[in-house]
Amino acid sequence: MVEAKTTPRNKKNNVRIIIIGDQAVGKSSLLMRYCEDTFTLNMMGTAGLDFKKKTIDFKDETINVLFYDSAGHDRFRHIVTQHYKGAKGIILTYDITDKNSFINVNDWMKNIKENADSNAEILLLGNKTDLSEERTVNYEEGVELSKKFSVEFYETSAKTGENTSQAFYSLIMRIFNNPLLNADIFQQSLKTENEEKKEENPINLNQKSKNENKKKEGSSCFKCG
């Protein structure tokens, strides 16, 4: 079970996840729902890039997950492209009431392939299921598109919270359990733990004390002449 914390117990490595998709598909609202469990109607659009952080406990590790919220407008596309590098996870979102945002998933996937880490985990979300009466993209179409690109797929609602936690949880777990992505996540934690153990070792503490005494003795002799 993953437990969310407001502050990390120890300084650990960061995991970067970027959320992309057309303008007004609900990217910022999804992050608000997952990170803060809130929803704001008529949220202002993202200009350029914004981010939110959530601290995750996993197998006795404390990891900072940084979510980069990208603007969907074409004029910001170059900024988004620059932040693919280093992202271990990518959340690609479309609006189930906007057929064009669904069609444009193909272009976004092409952009991912050209610029992102080939090992990055990708999640496809069809957002705004609370507006099902306005749906122009059915669930089966989303499934077929996810199969085309071999990515995981969920339909979500940032407003009601439907499937939001499950989708984000699944992506984070796939990153944590992917040996091609997780080595540097837990390497820093292991290094920190080894350093702490070394400091607590009585032999090391005794050696440190001896070194300090030698330094004092040497300093006294210098003063004596």
Stated pTM of the model: 0.74
Residue 33 — pLDDT band, cuts 50, 70, 90? very high
Residues 128 and 217 in one domain: no
Residues 157 and 216 in one domain: no
Q: Give just the sign of the alpha carbon dihedral 47, 64, 27, 22.
A: positive
Residues 50 and 71 in one domain: yes
Residue 74 — pLDDT band, cuts 50, 70, 90? low
pLDDT at 135: 98
Residue 72 is given by DSSP the state -
pLDDT, tens only, 96-107: 999 999 999 999
What's the mean pLDDT in 201-216? 51
Residues 61 and 119 in one domain: yes
Residues 21 and 61 in one domain: yes
DSSP for 115-169 reads HS-TT-EEEEEEE-GGGGGG-SS-HHHHHHHHHHHT-EEEE--TTT-TTHHHHHH
Residues 32 and 58 in one domain: yes
Count of domains observed in the chain: 2
pLDDT, tens only, 137-156: 999 999 999 999 999 999 99
pLDDT at 51: 80
Residues 179 and 195 in one domain: no
Maximum average pLDDT range among 48-57, 70-79, 196-205: 48-57
pLDDT at 211: 54
What's the mean pLDDT in 108-134? 95
With 0-12 / 13-18 / 19 or more C-beta atoms within 10 angstroms meaning exposed / middle / buried, residue 73 is: middle
The type of residue at 147 is K
Instruction: Tell the residue number behind the tokens 């796939």, with chain if given.
Output: 174
Determine the structural domain holding residue 204 and report its residue range: 190-224
* Domain containing residue 57: CATH number: 3.40.50.300
Residues 198 and 153 in one domain: no
Q: How far apart are CA 193 and CA 187, in angstroms?
A: 10
Residues 146 and 198 in one domain: no
Residues 153 and 216 in one domain: no
Q: Are strands 14-21 and 152-155 parallel, antiparallel or unpaired?
A: unpaired
Residues 136 and 168 in one domain: yes
Q: How far apart are CA 81 and CA 62, in angstroms?
A: 28
Q: Which two tokens stand for residue 88?
A: 């271990």
Q: How far apart are CA 15 and CA 185, in angstroms?
A: 7
Final residue of a structural domain among 166, 183, 200 = 183
Mean pLDDT, all residues of the chain:
80
The contacts of residue 63 (CB under 8 Å, 6+ apart) are 12, 13, 14, 15, 55, 56, 57, 176, 185
Residues 13 and 38 in one domain: yes
- Beta carbons of 185 and 15 less than 8 angstroms apart: yes
